[in-house]
């Protein structure tokens, strides 16, 4: 339908394939073109149910559509889930087709319901190919393709496999691209058009995808990313397309995993107070008075607050202010301890800032992408699309991962190193780069310091040693080193596989060294990019929900800073840094912490050595849990405060690329739940605290801007128009998407000499296998949200331990057998999945499942000396068949 007339050209070229040139005259709407379009359309409609399309009474049956659409077979628009938003309808109107004279054939194909989230009715398909293209070209999946040809041509899978067998990731991109009712989201199928649409941010991961929540009768009916092409046409007042992290894409969690958890019947609707071991419902006044009264008795370091990477910036700011100004302690931390504390510590020392150096969209334009310790397609699906984009533009891909992740099939080099040998691997690469003269010494000379000490430490990493420790053949290390050093700009992407080690900070230093050595930092499309896990983990760190810094990484142990905050908040503050998360649990055991305020966290599942954590929580005299569900940890609480979900409140999240984005209230709070910021303020005020009189989160942001240099230019008015990456020091600033241009934040980039340290726990006779943990695409963190979503549970109902066939044979284990995984800390029972994805000697579990919680097995005793990160990625285990 994109045919046009161009003066001086013969025939009717298609607009989308004809390059525009100066001076050409294009006509898009002449009687002749419209006639041709009508003819084409008529042909298309011979295989598409068109009765309603050309019916002259179509308005008159609208009142009955509720009854009519319940039929199983769609034979006209009135029975079609796409009615009202169908592009085919629009085209028919536009070209004015009034009649289809050619004979009609109904394809009579069965409706395919193999996806838990959408139906495929290829009787309605017009073979436009959009779904195929988005799946292959944008998503890089290719689950569907055109099959057969001529009149048999159809969109389908190889051998009619189910979508799951065909590798579908259930991202829903095809559904959103489909112009007709052929692909329809099942849950929203008969909902019709929304009453209103609110643009907000996905609450799951750190990518921070912009999503449109479609609302009808105070219910979210669907959550859809905004396609670029449609963005301008939709009546969206508050939509900022410039600088979205996701460019109209999302993943299964954001696309299909939101409605069910927000509207889940198990949402907490009333405050709960535990009496004689039983929860009973209470009013807000009752519970807030009780909390305020109790907390008066636990001021100082006997109190600890665990804030959350799931709540907004404003709420994190208030929670740390509450702990510091009201409770008089710096015992405040959150789950970043368990993901990127080594990044913050390491990158701050090396560069002066602990965040991603470049925006997500830079990855797609890099000439070489080095992905280490990140299963990007599972953990950060939308960032994997950028990796895919880079590859289709000809970039080289290096993947370093012990497991065969999806990205490996595109990799030019796949380094399958042993878990825990990252320092050796990276130093080995740097050794090659130095020896072969591939280093950017001019950059090192001009921009960096401490190079000689670093160079000295490279001596220990001759490739024979590196090969032995990492089990990666020398040739591959050399190839990877050459690629990374010569294909510029090169970018490094990493995640938990680097940080969750007892020497996680060293791993981060190694990465920083590598980037500086080749000059791949402080420039577009290069950089060091730690992918943050939770939706607002970056924000929670920025807001100072950390024991050693105030907001904006201003150090607790600096008396000037302390003075600044004492003046600003009008209270005196504790000069001693507080305890980190794992230290808090130890301190509860030793009886020094007696009360805890837990906001939106579920440490019983997410902490290393879960048993130890659970016992600690039980030992507390007073535990407040504030959450949207009664999580495993909340069950242990003295009082439970029901919080609003992200869809029921205003605020901001800061995503992994430091982009500050507006979260908008879309629906009324569920039951009597309240926004976290309101709850914190109420408790503070009842305890006589000053500076908690906020009526709206925008006021909290004004306060944040005053004391946080990087957020100085951020306010809600601006966020309606622009999306800003911090640092954004003043209202003129448009933010800083790329850090360290010209000079590092700390001045000079600092090299760190390194030595190889084996993981704290290596396999031995009794525990011969290495257990490593990770995330699946379908679940999120401890599963409090995702495991409430039917379709996500359907796709991945239970945990499993992945075992290499060679190990499985030795243990006599078959696919699906029940097995016991045993470590020095405990044991869990789960199913075995025998797969080549795990190398011999290494087994893998994801940590989302309470009933087979991987973190019962991991160790909390050996912490990273700098960042206090427990070794979550490497523990020694053995497996027994049960």
Partner 1 sequence: MPHELAEIFKSYQAEKGAVIPLLQKVQENLGYLSKEAISEIAKFSGISESEVFGVASFYAQFRFTPRGEHSLKVCLGTACHVRGGSNILETVERELGVQPGGTTSDYKFSLERVACFGCCALAPVMVVDKDVHGRMTTTKVKDILGKY
Q: Which stretch binds ligand SF4 (CB under 6 A): 251-259, 457-465, 504-512, 724-732?
A: 251-259
Q: Which is nearer to ligand FES, 40 or 158 (CB)?
A: 40
736-765 positions binding ligand SF4, by CB under 6 A: none
The arrangement of strands across the sheet holding 724-725 comes to 651-654, 659-663, 724-725
Q: Which is nearer to partner 1, 142 or 753 (CB)?
A: 142
Q: Which stretch binds ligand SF4 (CB under 6 A): 75-83, 739-747, 804-812, 815-823?
A: 75-83
* Residue number of the CB atom closest to ligand SF4: 254
**Tokens found for residue 218:** 């105070």
Can residue 161 be called a binding residue for partner 1 (CB under 8 A)? Answer: yes
Q: Which stretch binds partner 1 (CB under 8 A): 43-51, 157-165, 430-438, 566-574?
A: 157-165
478 binds, among ligand FES, partner 1, ligand SF4, none (CB under 5 to 8 A by kind): none
Q: Would you give the distance in Å from CA 550 to the centre of its chain?
A: 25
Only one residue has tokens 């999503």, namely 211
**Which residues lie across from 185 on neighbouring strands?**
118
Measuring CA to CA, which residue among 516, 500, 517, 499 is closest to residue 508? 499
Supply the Cα-derived Rg of the chain in whole angstroms.
28
Q: Which of 125, 345, 363, 493 touches ligand SF4 (CB under 6 A)?
A: 125
- Judge contact between 470 and 506, C-beta under 8 A: no
**730 to each of 137, 479, 668, 711, 727, how far by Cα in Å?**
40, 45, 34, 8, 9
856 binds, among partner 1, ligand FES, ligand SF4, none (CB under 5 to 8 A by kind): none
Task: Name the 3-class secondary structure at 78.
Answer: helix
Can residue 118 be called a binding residue for partner 1 (CB under 8 A)? Answer: no
Q: Which is nearer to partner 1, 297 or 409 (CB)?
A: 409
Q: Which is nearer to ligand FES, 95 or 288 (CB)?
A: 95
Measuring CA to CA, which residue among 597, 717, 54 is closest to residue 311? 597
Q: Tell me, what DSSP letter sits at residue 508?
A: H
Q: Which is nearer to ligand SF4, 131 or 197 (CB)?
A: 131
- Judge contact between 183 and 126, C-beta under 8 A: no
Only one residue has tokens 């309603």, namely 52
Distance in Å, CB of 397 to ligand FES, minimum:
30
Phi, psi of 737, rounded to the nearest 5 degrees: -65, -35
Can residue 623 be called a binding residue for ligand SF4 (CB under 6 A)? Answer: no
**Tokens found for residue 735:** 């933010």
830-859 positions binding ligand SF4, by CB under 6 A: none
Can residue 537 be called a binding residue for ligand SF4 (CB under 6 A)? Answer: no
147 binds, among ligand FES, ligand SF4, partner 1, none (CB under 5 to 8 A by kind): partner 1
Measuring CA to CA, which residue among 748, 742, 761 is closest to residue 825? 761
- Cβ-in-10-Å burial (0-12, 13-18, 19+) of 149 comes to exposed
**Tokens found for residue 424:** 């050796």
Residues 272, 301: Cα–Cα separation, whole Å: 26
Crossing angle (nearest 10°) for helices 422-435 and 474-486: 70
Q: Which of 7, 10, 16, 442 touches ligand FES (CB under 6 A)?
A: 16
Q: Which of 9, 14, 96, 706 touches ligand FES (CB under 6 A)?
A: 14
Size of site (CB under 6 A) for ligand SF4: 56
**Tokens found for residue 14:** 């298609």
**Which residues lie across from 3 on neighbouring strands?**
14
Q: Which stretch binds partner 1 (CB under 8 A): 155-163, 527-535, 662-670, 825-833?
A: 155-163
Spell out, one character per residue from 78 to 117, where the chain touches partner 1: x when CB under 8 A holds, - when not. Answer: ----------------------------------------
Residues 774, 793: Cα–Cα separation, whole Å: 17
Q: Which stretch binds ligand SF4 (CB under 6 A): 73-81, 302-310, 674-682, 734-742?
A: 73-81
Distance in Å, CB of 159 to partner 1, minimum:
6
Q: Which is nearer to partner 1, 118 or 261 (CB)?
A: 118
**Which residues lie across from 396 on neighbouring strands?**
368
Can residue 716 be called a binding residue for partner 1 (CB under 8 A)? Answer: no
**Tokens found for residue 90:** 């629009």
Q: Which of 44, 95, 178, 874 touches ligand SF4 (CB under 6 A)?
A: 178
Phi, psi of 272, rounded to the nearest 5 degrees: -125, 140
Can residue 153 be called a binding residue for ligand FES (CB under 6 A)? Answer: no
33-72 positions binding ligand SF4, by CB under 6 A: 48-49, 52-53
Residues 198, 536: Cα–Cα separation, whole Å: 20
Spell out, one character per residue from 390 to 429, where the chain touches partner 1: x when CB under 8 A holds, - when not. Answer: -------------------xx-------------------
Can residue 157 be called a binding residue for partner 1 (CB under 8 A)? Answer: yes
Can residue 783 be called a binding residue for partner 1 (CB under 8 A)? Answer: no
135-154 positions binding partner 1, by CB under 8 A: 136, 141-149
Strands 303-306 and 595-599: parallel
Task: Name the 3-class secondary structure at 647.
Answer: helix
Distance in Å, CB of 207 to ligand FES, minimum:
29
Can residue 88 be called a binding residue for ligand SF4 (CB under 6 A)? Answer: yes
Distance in Å, CB of 224 to ligand FES, minimum:
21
Distance in Å, CB of 28 to ligand FES, minimum:
12
Task: Name the 3-class secondary structure at 297.
Answer: coil
Can residue 171 be called a binding residue for partner 1 (CB under 8 A)? Answer: no
Q: Would you give the distance in Å from CA 845 to the centre of its chain?
A: 19
Residues 879, 817: Cα–Cα separation, whole Å: 11
Crossing angle (nearest 10°) for helices 422-435 and 451-458: 100
Task: Name the 3-class secondary structure at 574.
Answer: coil
List contacts with ligand FES (CB under 6 A): 2, 14, 16
List contacts with ligand SF4 (CB under 6 A): 48-49, 52-53, 74, 76-77, 80, 82-83, 86, 88-89, 124-131, 134-135, 139, 141, 143-144, 155, 163, 168-174, 177-183, 202, 204-205, 207-209, 246, 250-251, 253-254, 381-382
């Amino acid at each position: 339908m994109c045919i046009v007339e161009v003066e001086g050209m013969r025939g009717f070229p298609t607009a989308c394939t004809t390059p525009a040139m100066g001076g050409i005259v294009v006509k898009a709407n002449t009687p002749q073109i419209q006639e041709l379009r009508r003819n084409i359309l008529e042909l298309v409609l011979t295989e598409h149910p068109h009765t309603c399309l050309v019916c002259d009474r179509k308005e008159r049956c609208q009142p009955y559509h509720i009854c009519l659409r319940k039929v199983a077979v769609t034979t006209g628009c009135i029975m079609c889930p796409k009615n009202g938003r169908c592009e085919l309808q629009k085209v028919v109107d536009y070209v004015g087709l009034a009649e289809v004279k050619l004979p009609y054939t109904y394809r009579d194909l069965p409706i395919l319901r193999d996806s838990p989230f959408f139906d495929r009715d290829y009787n309605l398909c017009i073979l436009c190919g959009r779904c195929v293209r988005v799946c292959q070209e944008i998503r890089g999946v290719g689950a569907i393709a055109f099959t057969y040809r001529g009149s048999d041509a159809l969109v389908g899978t190889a051998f009619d496999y189910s979508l799951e067998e065909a590798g579908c990731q259930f991202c829903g991109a095809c559904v959103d691209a489909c112009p007709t009712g052929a692909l329809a989201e099942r849950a929203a199928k008969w909902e019709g058009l929304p009453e209103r649409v609110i643009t907000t941010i996905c609450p799951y991961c750190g990518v921070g995808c912009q999503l449109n929540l479609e609302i009808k009768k105070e219910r979210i009916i669907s959550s859809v990313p905004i396609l670029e092409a449609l963005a301008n046409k939709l009546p969206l007042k508050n939509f900022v397309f410039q600088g979205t992290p996701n460019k109209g894409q999302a993943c299964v969690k954001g696309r299909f995993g939101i409605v069910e958890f927000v509207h889940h019947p198990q949402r907490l609707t009333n405050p709960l107070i535990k009496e004689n071991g039983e929860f009973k419902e209470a009013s807000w006044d009752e519970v807030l008075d009780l909390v305020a009264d109790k907390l008066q008795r636990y001021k100082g370091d006997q109190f600890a607050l665990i804030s959350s990477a799931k709540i907004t910036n404003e709420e994190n700011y208030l929670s740390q202010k509450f702990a510091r100004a009201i409770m008089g302690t710096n015992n405040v931390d959150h789950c970043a301890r368990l993901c990127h504390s080594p990044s913050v510590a390491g990158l701050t020392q090396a560069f002066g800032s602990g965040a991603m150096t470049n925006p997500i969209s830079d990855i797609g334009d890099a000439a070489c992408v080095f992905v280490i310790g990140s299963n990007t397609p599972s953990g950060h699906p939308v960032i994997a699309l950028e990796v895919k984009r880079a590859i289709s533009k000809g970039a080289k891909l290096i993947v370093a991962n012990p497991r065969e992740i999806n990205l490996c099939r595109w990799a030019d080099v796949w380094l399958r190193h042993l878990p825990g040998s990252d320092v050796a691997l990276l130093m080995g690469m740097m050794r090659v780069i130095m020896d072969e003269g591939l280093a950017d010494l001019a950059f090192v000379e001009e921009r960096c310091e401490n190079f000689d000490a670093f160079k000295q430490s490279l001596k220990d990493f001759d490739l024979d040693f590196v090969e032995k420790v990492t089990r990666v053949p020398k040739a591959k290390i050399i190839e990877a080193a050459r690629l990374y050093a010569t294909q510029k700009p090169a970018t490094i992407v990493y995640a938990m596989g680097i940080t969750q080690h007892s020497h996680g900070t060293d791993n981060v230093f190694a990465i920083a060294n590598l980037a500086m050595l080749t000059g791949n930092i402080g420039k577009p499309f290069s950089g060091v990019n730690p992918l943050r896990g939770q939706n607002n983990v970056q924000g929670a760190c920025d807001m100072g929900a950390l024991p050693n810094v105030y907001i904006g990484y201003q150090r607790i142990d600096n008396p000037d800073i302390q003075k600044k905050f004492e003046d600003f908040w009008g209270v005196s503050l504790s000069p001693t840094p507080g305890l980190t998360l794992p230290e808090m649990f130890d301190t509860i055991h030793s009886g020094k912490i007696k009360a805890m305020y837990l906001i939106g966290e579920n440490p019983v599942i997410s902490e290393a050595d879960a048993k130890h954590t659970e016992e600690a929580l039980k030992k507390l005299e007073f535990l407040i849990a504030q959450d949207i569900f009664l999580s495993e940890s909340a069950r242990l609480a003295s009082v439970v405060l029901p919080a609003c979900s992200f869809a029921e409140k205003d605020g901001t999240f800061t995503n992994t690329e430091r982009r500050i984005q507006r979260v908008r209230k879309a629906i009324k709070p569920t039951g009597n739940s309240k926004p976290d910021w309101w709850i914190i303020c109420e408790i503070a005020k009842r305890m006589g605290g000053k500076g908690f009189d906020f009526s709206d989160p925008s006021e909290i942001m004004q306060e944040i801007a005053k004391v946080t240099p990087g957020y100085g230019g951020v306010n809600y008015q601006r966020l309606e128009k622009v999306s800003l990456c911090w640092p954004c020091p003043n209202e003129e600033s448009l933010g800083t998407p790329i850090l360290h241009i010209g000079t590092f934040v700390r001045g000079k980039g600092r090299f760190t000499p390194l030595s190889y340290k084996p993981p704290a726990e290596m396999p031995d006779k009794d525990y011969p296998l290495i257990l490593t943990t990770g995330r699946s695409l379908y679940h999120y963190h401890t599963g409090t949200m995702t495991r409430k979503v039917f379709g996500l549970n359907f796709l991945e109902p239970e945990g499993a331990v992945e075992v290499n066939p060679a190990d499985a044979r030795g243990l006599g284990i078959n696919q699906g057998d029940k097995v016991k995984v045993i470590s020095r800390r405990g044991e869990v029972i789960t199913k075995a999945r025998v797969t080549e994805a795990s190398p011999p000697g290494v087994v893998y579990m994801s940590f989302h499942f309470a009933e087979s919680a991987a973190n019962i097995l991991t160790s909390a005793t050996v912490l990273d000396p700098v960042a206090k990160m427990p070794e979550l990625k490497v523990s020694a285990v053995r497996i027994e068949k049960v």
